[in-house]
Amino acid sequence: MGRRLSGKIVIATHNAGKLREMRELLAPYGIEAVSAGELGLGEPDETASDFAGNALIKAQSAAKAANLPAFADDSGLCVEALGGAPGILSARWAGEAKDFYAAMDRIRREVEATGAKKPWRAYFISALALCWPDGHVEQFEGRVDGDLVFPPMGTAGFGYDPCFRPDGHERTFGEMTAEEKHGIPADGSRALSHRARAFQALARGCLA
């Protein structure tokens, strides 16, 4: 059992899609959430070599700057035929314009160039870090496997959701509602997305 979280927390992200999902996941637990962007906090350089390390960098930076517990996610899409790319570079593949349709097309072209046979397998990883101003840290991770779908389908969600169909389902994350994708509250069997599965572990350990 980890340290219990209550009261107010900083969500250490400037990504509107992640912020919306995190607030939806936290809402049933009565946690008041304010974003790093709303507090005017800067974005630290993500210099770690894995998702967990980058989540920790963001959460520790926000906790120190705001003197509040801080919650950060680092997540991305890993394509097996590309050796796990884009992975921790998932957001960077979308460029400064955050054009994920261009990034999805890049994935399609690069996988085609490998000659990989379909189905093209991929997985999403979400690493969560929860940090307190006194330095205490709790970390969690979730994963969901599936196939790549081209052309991308659906306009819900964000990022690479339209090109990812989770195992056991006929629709992409881009075609699913937030409740379908996450299960709210994330109660185990209903938690489908990588972020919901990581949050489920966090909720068991740190939320009443």
Active site positions, annotated: 74
The CA distance from 135 to 63, in Å, is 9
Q: What angle is formed at CA 60 by the lines to CA 58 and CA 64, rounded to 5 degrees?
A: 120
Element (H, E) at 28: none
CA distances from 20 to 6, 13, 78, 109, 205 (A): 19, 10, 23, 31, 22
**Who contacts 27 (Cβ-Cβ below 8 Å, separation ≥6)?**
184
Alpha-helix residue ranges (DSSP H) falling in 125-185 = 178-182
Burial bucket for residue 129 (CB in 10 Å: 0-12, 13-18, 19+):
buried
| Separation of CA 202 from chain center | 14
Count Cβ atoms below 10 Å from residue 89 Cβ, excluding itself.
12
| CB distance 131 to 3 below 8 Å | no
The CA distance from 189 to 62, in Å, is 32
